[in-house]
Structure 1
């Protein structure tokens, strides 16, 4: 066998089948066929068995309906993006132009405290709750402008106080980072923004502060089973058992009249008193008030006219008090309501011996 014959035999022994393909793959051919069929159809066939959602999808994919959608809306209409709003991804509020903005007497944020260690004791925040409050303060630092004044207040409880402190710390870190000259007041407690109270044998107590006395008293009655339980114990027991059963104890407080619980209407009146006092002491300022979910929810219900739900940790209800103090804008979860600010000193106390006369009639 010659050398040439060996080469030919070797080439024939290692030759592979041809893999070049002229026709498109079957999936591509079917896709092109469907696209051509959809383009040729001027009107949809009523007897077509194709699902409606698939026909709508193919219509959206057609060149006629898809033209111009690759360009963002704000570029097509000539609206520029505001850098401050794009940085703050938690703020869903639409900012009005400068000429359309109302002059505010005060801008108040009613902020729920961060995640707490529990409600059976007067405990502070968890590490997650501390991070939530610090992050919220850092977010607020993006919204304020140089020259503003920020006041930080809180309810007289540990979880609200720690929320205010970490909020203040996060805001100061953000202001230093963004090089903004803002006057910030140190956190201080305010009785007007305390949690709703419970009348116990030891006096008025926060709902968590009263838990220890409630639990020890219930244990005594369960151990001895003698005598009738006092009414305050029955009402507190219903409240806590609602929470233990997976229910909503705040909704229980909002809907069921209880003699030993501070009524929601009185809590709302107390909050408005605190807001008006802050507006008088710090006119034109922005206020951060760390408080509790029950009063915040009752405040939102009174303003919006329906129950928008329990606020999450560090979620807020915003109150914009318009200059003059007679009107306000209350916003919560993308709903804004314009209301008349209640005149607390003109409202009745609902005592039986009260001879209430409207001042306008005097």
Structure 2
């Protein structure tokens, strides 16, 4: 006999009421007019509801489609798949592995290694339910994640949503356990304590900044200057990931290195696991760098639990990268022929790990 499940994948009622109140600008709720029971299209109902003035420019802005929905249902409408009809068999037979790079759910913040908020847990569960539509009977789903609390909890939430929805659909598919892979970690920064996730480095950065400001030690080390710029942009309301993508930094892992190890992790999963579907819960920076490399432009920051889909085609030489209604075919990198930028260099031009006795 199994114990009852006590977790709450749905958003709490108080959170729904708060989001609903904020959407109205803090005003109390106003009863919505009853909707007709006929088959009148939504755009026509919205047009009839408008009260035009003397000029067409005086007409109020039409409400968006989800304005008359509750907070939970509205979020579900926004995050549901945009595929109107199922894909035909002949369109999918060339793809041997489907990989989803999913950003983690909402967190308490990025200054500590905190886990997901209640809304973040609900987002992950909801994303798992949505991805279950693409899993057929007989398939195996492999789950991977970055080795951080928020990424692991997102992967666990996706797994629960998958299992719940597969039972609802009556599909006989297997879902593996969540495994952390170093290839899918967040981008790193070099600190006196070694390589650290940019969030893990925040506490050391904050304590070092206080020491330099209090004692007045003078010039700060390079890593502290660059981390200070990164977090300063975030605290000012800017986009630090754009700064990382576009600004050369000596102590930060470059975006191209994150793209390269994402490909290495993808091919490792393809070789080691039998899964037709692979779901990777990771972080927005490497996901965005991967999408920028594939599409040739920066498509923007992924939202919480938004994903980039990679469909590895038969033969393993090419793949389709899908993100925000854009599809791009790319060649799978051959790691044996990628350039070695340190070739022909010696002394301090080489990384410390490759200098040997020549430094």
| TM-score (norm: length of structure 2) | 0.73
- 3-state SS in 2 of match to 1:145: coil
Given candidates 54, 62, 80, the residue that maps to 1:90 is 80
Q: 1:152 aligns with which of 121, 143, 165?
A: 143
Residue of structure 1 equivalent to 2:283: 292
Please state whether the residue corresponding to 1:160 is helix, strand or coil.
helix
SS at match of 2:319: strand
- Deviates further, 97-106 or 172-181: 97-106
CA distance in 2, matches of 1:280, 1:120: 36
The offset of 1:208, in angstroms, is 0.2
Which runs of 5 or more residues in structure 1 are unaligned?
1-49, 54-86, 356-362
Once the two structures are overlaid, the 10-residue window that deviates more, 131-140 or 95-104, is 95-104
Shift of 1:344: 1.8
What is the alpha-carbon distance in structure 2 between the residues aligned to residue 208 and residue 133 of structure 1?
21
Q: 2:321 aligns with which of 324, 330, 348?
A: 330
- Residue 101 (structure 1) aligned to one of 92, 95, 101: 92
Structure 1 counterpart of 2:156, from 165, 180, 190: 165
**Residues 81, 130 of structure 2: 8 Å contact kept:** no
- For residues 155 and 337 of structure 2, the distance between their equivalents in structure 1, rounded to whole angstroms, comes to 32
Are 1:105 and 1:279, in contact at CA under 8 Å, matched by a contact in 2?
no
1:196 counterpart (175, 187, 196): 187
Looking at structure 2, the residues matched to 341 and 88 of structure 1 have their Cα atoms a distance apart, in angstroms, of: 32
Match of 2:251 in 1: 260
Counterparts of 1:260 and 1:97 in 2: how far apart (Å)?
A: 48
Q: Is the counterpart of residue 309 in structure 1 residue 300 in structure 2?
A: yes
Specify the SS of the correspondent of 2:141: strand
**2:203 paired with 1:215:** no
> What RMSD over aligned residues (CA atoms) do the two structures have, in Å?
2.2
Shift of 1:174: 1.0
Counterparts of 1:149 and 1:102, CA distance in 2: 16
1:271-286 residue pairs with structure 2 within 5 A? 271-283=262-274, 285-286=276-277
Between 1:276-285 and 1:112-121, the stretch displaced more is 276-285
Q: Which of 318, 336, 349 is the matching residue for 1:345?
A: 336
1:123 is paired with a residue of what secondary structure?
A: coil
3-state SS in 2 of match to 1:118 = coil
Greater CA drift, 312-321 or 222-231: 222-231
SS in 2 for 1:199: strand
Whether 1:140 aligns to 2:131 is: yes
Paired residue for 2:105?
Answer: 114
Could you give the per-residue CA deviations for residues 115-145 of structure 1, whole angstroms, max 9, x where no partner exists?
0111000110000000000111111122211
When Rg is computed on C-alpha atoms for both structures, the one with the higher figure is 1
- Take 1:89 and 1:243, find their aligned partners in 2: how far apart are those partners? 26
Unaligned ranges ≥5, structure 2: 1-53, 58-76, 347-359
CA distance in structure 2 between the partners assigned to 1:115 and 1:147 by the alignment: 32
> What is the number of residues matched between the two proteins?
274
* SS state at 1:306 partner: coil
Residue of structure 2 equivalent to 1:128: 119
SS in structure 2 of the partner of residue 171 of structure 1:
helix
Structure 1 residues 182-211: Cα deviation after superposition (integer angstroms, max 9, x where no partner): 011000100000000000000000000000
Cα distance change of structure 1 residues 220 and 300 upon mapping to structure 2, 3 Å threshold: same
Question: Could you say what secondary structure the match of 1:290 adopts?
Answer: strand
Query: 3-state DSSP class of the match of 1:238?
Result: helix
